[in-house]
Chains A and B, each alone.
Chain A
């Protein structure tokens, strides 16, 4: 079953086609890798899929309630509420909020009390905040950050900030999760933990995951299928083995260094 597909998706910045004519299909519960040299357009593609940028051309469709729905150009918050979650390459946590509150912001759309209940502290406020508190703690357990729950997000070490971003994305209750270079800046041990974490959340949260990553061993290790972007265009797709031996891919990467 297709959960997400694009057709001829294009985004121009001035004269530059950062994403050019990209058509792809993601199936339910797949773990798909998106690779390519620096500046290939991977992050821009994520930004299109999550509504941060509007497409210049082409369509994006997401499976919503059993039907493919066009989401191209919708606002990010609408798209998130349709079930897409994401992390950012350049970490974008709410730095001055605690670790726990970062998660609670992610759960915001799923908190059920009105402004008046908040202001006058009706019982519903306390019961909802209690539920949110407990669920947020459970998400922190998944990424092993319960001990740090009261720290400000900005005070976490780099690797933990990346994990917190993943937990925060999970808090929005996504069906499809985009991870933009989650292993960037991590040491090999942290990367191994991250690999396990990605596998675990995919199963436990019944997710479809699309992963941008520079760490080739991680990509080849966890991804079932890989798309390769170069200069905004899709130049290859397939399973890890076929990608490893693909001539165009090798050339693209050789050109980089």
Chain B
């Protein structure tokens, strides 16, 4: 029966993925989703990837990182530089993405290994510094064209972002719902008890951080190859905070929450784009309101699961 349910939920998710892909396609050809909405969709997809990957580090593993935009910029600039070098060949996106991932892994290990050995929020300080350092490095390198940034051709459209959104979600959620994820959650819950369970907490903290960095980097590549321009300032500390707000608003530890919240906030952001000054104020007000009225975020730790739904139906049938 258990085995049955695993395949049933997998099948349900597969249907959701294919269904939403087809639905979006239909809506686009019917003209319901116009060019502007398509751009918003790109933003939403990229923000979801950023949010769930940060949620793995903060919400699941309990390690406070303020450097997510830094890893995003590594992915963006790796792709940017390689796209330039390859004159915008379609494959340059994926080569760039791969290079970004490799650099992000190395950098994540350098940042995380010394700090995550320690108990306490040293990671926050280290990642804060790292985010600024990477921005200054990019600002001063020739190959990245300094503060002016890079102008790039648009090489991908929403289907590519959709595919990477699906891949990111599957990888991060499957990781979380495995022995690895349970170990990460135990670190969040009680580090000493976790160690006493035989768990090398440093190893799992680093693992979650590196996985998170990989997907932030992928999101960066997607951003660079779909939005024409990348500049160091796009990936500043503010961007890390934006991602953090999405995670906190949706609920730390809830991927469903990150999805909902990334969607809402991306739409909000886009509609406020012409009022850049108010945007910060509304953001700040939003954060304060969440803290006061719903400190656990929109969805708390709730997670939508087909298995729960099926269980409910099964129980109803029995009752009838």
Contacts and interface: CB of A to CB of B under 8 A. Distances in A.
Interface of A: 50-52, 75-77, 80-81, 85-86, 88, 92-97, 101, 104-106, 108-109, 111, 113, 115, 118-121, 125-126, 128-130, 132-133, 168, 171-172
Contact of A109 (B174, B190, B199): B199
B177 to A, nearest CB: 8
Interface string B177-201: 0111111011001101111111111
B84 interface: no
B20 to A, nearest CB: 21
| A interface: dominant SS | helix
Given A115-B180, A119-B171, A77 B201 contact: yes
A97 B179 contact: no
B189 A94 contact: yes
23 contacts: A77-B199, A77-B201, A80-B198, A92-B190, A93-B189, A94-B186, A94-B193, A95-B190, A96-B301, A105-B183, A105-B185, A105-B186, A108-B183, A108-B199, A113-B178, A115-B175, A118-B175, A118-B179, A118-B181, A119-B178, A128-B179, A129-B178, A172-B196
Given A119-B175, A171-B197, 16 more contacts: A75-B195, A75-B200, A77-B198, A77-B200, A85-B196, A88-B193, A92-B193, A94-B194, A101-B185, A105-B183, A105-B199, A106-B197, A108-B197, A119-B174, A128-B179, A133-B2
B37 interface: no
Interface of B: 2-3, 6, 10, 170-171, 174-175, 178-183, 185-186, 189-190, 192-201, 207, 253, 301
Contacts of A132: 179
A104 B182 contact: yes
Nearest to A50: B196
A132 B197 CA distance: 15
Contact of A96 (B189, B195, B207): B189
A60 B198 CA distance: 18
Nearest to B190: A92
B196 A101 contact: no
A166 to B, nearest CB: 13
Contacts of A126: 3, 6
Contact of A111 (B174, B179, B195): B179
Contacts of B196: 50, 52, 76-77, 80, 85-86, 92, 172
Nearest to A102: B186
A189 B2 CA distance: 37
A76 B174 CA distance: 28
Nearest to B203: A77
Contacts, number: 105
A209 B199 CA distance: 22
A129 B79 CA distance: 39
B195 A80 contact: yes
Contacts of B178: 113, 118-119, 125, 129
B199 A92 contact: no
B190 A94 contact: yes
Contacts of A85: 196
A119 B56 CA distance: 14
Nearest to B207: A115
Contacts of A106: 197-198
Contacts of A92: 190, 192-193, 196
Contacts of B186: 94, 97, 105, 108
Contacts of A172: 196-198
Contacts of A95: 189-190
A132 B190 CA distance: 22
Contacts of A119: 170-171, 174-175, 178
Given A52-B192, A80-B196, A93-B193, A105 B182 contact: yes
A186 B87 CA distance: 73
B174 A120 contact: yes
Nearest to A174: B198
